[in-house]
A and B are shown apart, each in its own frame.
Chain A
Amino acid sequence: FKNNLAGTVACLSIVHTLLIKLLVKPVDCLLLSHGAELIKKRQLEKDELRPLYMDFQATTPMDPRVLDAMLPYQVNYYGNPHSRTHAYGWESETAMETARKQQVADLIGADPREIIFTSGATESNNMALKGVARFYQTKKRHIITTQTEHKCVLDSCRVLEAEGFSITYLPVQKNGLLDLELLEASVRPETSLVSVMTVNNEIGVKQPIKEIGKICRSKGIFFHTDAAQAVGKIPINVSDWNVDLMSISGHKIYGPKGVGALYVRRRPRVRLEPLQSGGGQERGLRSGTVPTPLVVGLGAACSIAQQEMEYDHHRVSMLANRLVQKIMSEIPEVVMNGDPEQRYPGCINLSFAYVEGESLLMALKDVALSSGSACTSASLEPSYVLRAIGADEDLAHSSIRFGIGRFTTEEEVDYTAEKCIQQVQRLREMSPLWEMVQEGIDLKSIKWTQH
């Protein structure tokens, strides 16, 4: 056994996981030895039933109202919104400006001139971090962020580190929230930017953005927040929150994929170095033709979100409570990750002790779920977000994220809860670990990784 593993696996923690997997389900290990991908890709057969969708943090289906707004611009109104000499251009430009003003800007309480259309929140985050850091680099070369940010923020910071900037990655508390005193203590005279996400994509916790904004403003530091998971779901006002830069994504709010926006404050003015060079569109910050249909879709998604926010929030909360209560009342030793109060209810991250998360995902093949962010899903590494909130290694391995949204039904929630309960019980019955716990053995006293 040892010899077999030694070639393919170096890290001890992986040995630990493999050991659990071996104990739980020997067959899985055959798949494992070939790579990190655990769940096999497979297309649905023609007459097969579709799994129900419970992964609204990864992406959301487009609202039919959004598609309806977009289609005319995919069919007849194909003009370049930057063409200034003919009707094709003018009608596209009008549509783009309506989306900017009446829809995106209104939803977050901004001025339309502060909205820059991008290809999505990843681009917005890259633009904000690299743009601000590089523009002010002669005087200020320090950036503060948290360990639970999205990968694109952390990776942008890595790039900046390589360029000579110093970055502070703040730890978060056990509940996933940032400690404001720690933030204040980490500020240096040469700090140019603080970047903290509004709602976490894996555990759904809502950071104290207003308080962070106040701290940053009082110290004259720019404040960026990645609000991809928050816009349209919770009320946002960039003036109340003192936010200087905010990233928005289209496909997380029932809009199209491939479009997003970056809010850049005008007073006090935030300046950034553009990433892309070219025709100087979007006030020179983001060259490239603005994709009218996508932007119209983003606008429609924002205006629907504003109109439906209360209705959706009420319903999502109700469904989330229903799911959590059903699961928790039926199976013991389920932990909800992240703060129980300061959260967006539609993102529920549960750890099922003594059950391996990927095995559970595999068993729940009728439900489209994920163990965390789509970028790292189905890999052996436990989520860095869960590790940052101090979850035990084994609990981090046994987590599943349930995403509830506008189109989720009671039936889907009940089906998911029922299947989940059934499969957790089944997997636990098969698990020698669970058996040992039932016999009263403290698993922490066993040294798994002893060689």
Chain B
Amino acid sequence: MMAASTGSQVISLYRMMLKESKKFPSYNYRTYALRRVRDAFRANRKVEDPKTVERLIQEGQQSLALIQRQVSIGSMFKTQKMVVE
């Protein structure tokens, strides 16, 4: 079993990543980020080894920062909406 504090840390990271991914102005980047974050967390759901969990959390935090940076850049150069939006 994962320690309770780690579990809540993972859930909050997951929520943050989804929240930030939703801010991508580009339709394709937004849908990709949301899909990829969900699939990555789903794929690693069963990971128990504390060292691996710690590594994954760290990677997640780096990805979160990356998403935030790229969302800001994307917002500076917005384009028209896509026909499917």
Contact = CB atoms under 8 A, between A and B. Distances in A.
Contacts of A44: 80
B5 interface: no
A407 B27 CA distance: 9
Contact of B66 (A61, A64, A411): A64
Nearest to B29: A64
Given A64-B66, A68-B70, A311-B39, A53 B28 contact: yes
A237 B66 CA distance: 31
B29 A52 contact: no
Interface in A292-331: 311
Contact of B84 (A52, A65, A67, A407): A52
A401 interface: no
A409 B73 contact: no
A21 B30 CA distance: 41
B1 interface: no
A424 B80 CA distance: 28
* Interface size range on A against B: 20 to 34
Contacts of A406: 32
A407 B29 contact: yes
Q: How large is the interface on B (under 10, 10 to 19, 20 to 34, 35 or more residues)?
A: 20 to 34
A205 B83 CA distance: 31
A181 interface: no
Given A406-B32, A407-B28, A407-B29, A52 B83 contact: yes
Contacts of B3: none
Contacts of A10: none
Nearest to A405: B28
Given A65-B66, A67-B73, A68-B66, A51 B32 contact: no
Contacts of A53: 28
A426 interface: no
Q: Which of A50, A406, A411, A412 has the largest count of B CB atoms less than 10 A from its CB?
A: A50
Interface in A394-422: 406-409, 411-412, 415
A221 B73 CA distance: 49
A49 B80 contact: yes
B33, B66, B84 — most chain A CB neighbours (10 Å): B84
26 contacts: A46-B80, A49-B81, A49-B85, A50-B79, A50-B81, A50-B83, A52-B83, A52-B84, A61-B28, A61-B29, A64-B29, A64-B33, A64-B67, A67-B70, A68-B66, A311-B36, A366-B83, A406-B32, A407-B29, A407-B31, A407-B32, A408-B28, A409-B27, A412-B84, A415-B83, A415-B84
